[in-house]
Amino acid sequence: MLKATAYRLLALFSLSLGILGIPLPGLPTVPFVLLSAWAAGKGWPEFERWLLLHPRFGPPIRQWRQHGAVSRRAKWLASFMMLASVALLWFSAAPVLLKISLPVALLLVAIWLWRRPQPQEITYE
């Protein structure tokens, strides 16, 4: 019971952060929605089903689960946000070690992200 409640809280909290990420630059939407769907799948099947059938959240979740795919738009947005974060970091009073290590980490994330497949196009024959 406690485990299911923890998964439900994680699902709600993650979805809330994902929804906040829609209008807020710098806060990603899709990773939090994916986390929400994963947590819901562990402790709240009805909520998982709702997410999978949702017109906005469902397609990225299904594409990720079926193909490990990330849309080109999401890749460009994520890359832009990482670049903006690095630029802001350089103009901050952050320690030099952070100014060097974060861009390297984000570059590795960007390489991984751009190597993910694109969502499959639906063709009608």
Q: Which pLDDT score is estimated for 1? A: 82
Q: Can you give the residue range of the structural domain that contains 60?
A: 1-67
CA–CA gap between residue 120 and residue 49 (Å, rounded) = 21
Token code pair at residue 40: 């819901």
Low-confidence ranges of the chain (pLDDT < 70): 25-26, 121-125
- Domains: count for the chain: 2
Answer for the pair 63, 117: CB distance below 8 angstroms, yes or no.
no
SS3 98: helix
51 lies in the same domain as 82: no
pTM for the model stands at 0.74
SS3 26: coil
In tens, the pLDDT along 17-29 reads 989 988 876 677 8
Q: Which pLDDT score is estimated for 125? A: 54
With respect to residue 122, please indicate whether it lies within any of the assigned structural domains. no
